[in-house]
């Protein structure tokens, strides 16, 4: 398959056609190879799962070696939302192409994201008219709560995790997201890690694996 985004691919260890797919979206300034570390751990426990780790569509504004889903530098809230909608459209088309290629429904697709990758996964997954299986998010936030509330089209399972010492995306972002979802009667799971900065701890990786296993298998 020719992917619309340059993609690091981890095939099912069963060597069979995938029964489900996890798409991992990296953070600001990263790339697909960065986040594929998670996939290389999870693959041994999810033998029928394919993992796709695309590079975001734009070169990062502050790191020539990395990528971004949308620009965050010197942007207003309105500009960030506008640019995130472009990335959302690209990611949605990417998911559609993946489903077509492997003859899978959206409910066999899980989105996983770290930081900015979590942000775009949440927005894309909840606005999707075709319900995804689940969304697993680390150290992210809702890009624009007003916009999202007006455009909810499905309610996949959601697990959001965050470190309480995160200085890049403060843990208050998770608390705000939890409040947002409670307000609209959308039950999600959350976890806050003590003494954890802007990263995915081992416990977070293990909890993410169990979340995926429960929902995909």
Ordered domains of the chain (ranges, CATH): 7-216 (3.40.50.1820)
pLDDT in tens, 103-129: 999 999 999 999 999 999 999 999 999
Q: How far apart are CA 127 and CA 150, in angstroms?
A: 9
For position 2, what pLDDT does the model report? 66
With bands split at pLDDT 50, 70 and 90, how would you rate the model's confidence at 137? very high
Q: Is the pLDDT reported for residue 1 higher than 80?
A: no
Q: How far apart are CA 136 and CA 160, in angstroms?
A: 6
> Where are any strands of DSSP class E within 75-200?
109-114, 134-138, 157-163, 189-193
For position 3, what pLDDT does the model report? 80
For position 78, what pLDDT does the model report? 94
0.85 surpassed by pTM: yes
The residue-averaged pLDDT of 65-92 equals 94
Q: Is the pLDDT reported for residue 44 higher than 90?
A: yes
Let me know how long the chain is.
217
Q: Which helix (H) or strand (E) holds 153?
A: none
């Amino acid at each position: 398959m020719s992917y619309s985004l340059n993609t690091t691919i981890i095939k099912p260890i069963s060597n069979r056609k995938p029964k489900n797919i996890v798409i991992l979206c990296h953070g600001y300034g990263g790339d697909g190879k960065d986040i594929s570390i998670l996939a290389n751990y999870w693959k041994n426990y999810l033998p029928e799962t394919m993992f796709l780790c695309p590079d975001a569509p734009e070169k990062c504004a502050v790191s020539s070696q990395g990528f971004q889903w949308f620009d965050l530098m010197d942007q207003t809230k309105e500009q960030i939302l506008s640019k995130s909608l472009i990335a959302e459209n690209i990611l949605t088309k990417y998911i559609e192409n993946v489903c077509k290629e492997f003859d899978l429904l959206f409910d066999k697709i899980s989105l996983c994201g770290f930081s900015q990758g979590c942000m775009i996964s949440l927005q894309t997954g909840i606005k999707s008219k075709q319900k995804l299986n689940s969304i697993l998010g680390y150290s992210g936030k809702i890009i624009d709560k007003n916009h999202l509330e007006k455009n909810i089209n499905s309610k996949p399972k959601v697990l959001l995790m965050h470190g309480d010492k995160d200085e890049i995306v403060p843990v208050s972002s998770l608390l705000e997201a939890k409040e947002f979802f409670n307000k609209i009667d959308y039950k999600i799971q959350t976890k806050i890690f003590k003494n954890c900065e802007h990263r995915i701890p081992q416990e977070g990786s293990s909890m993410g694996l169990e979340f995926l296993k429960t929902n995909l298998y």
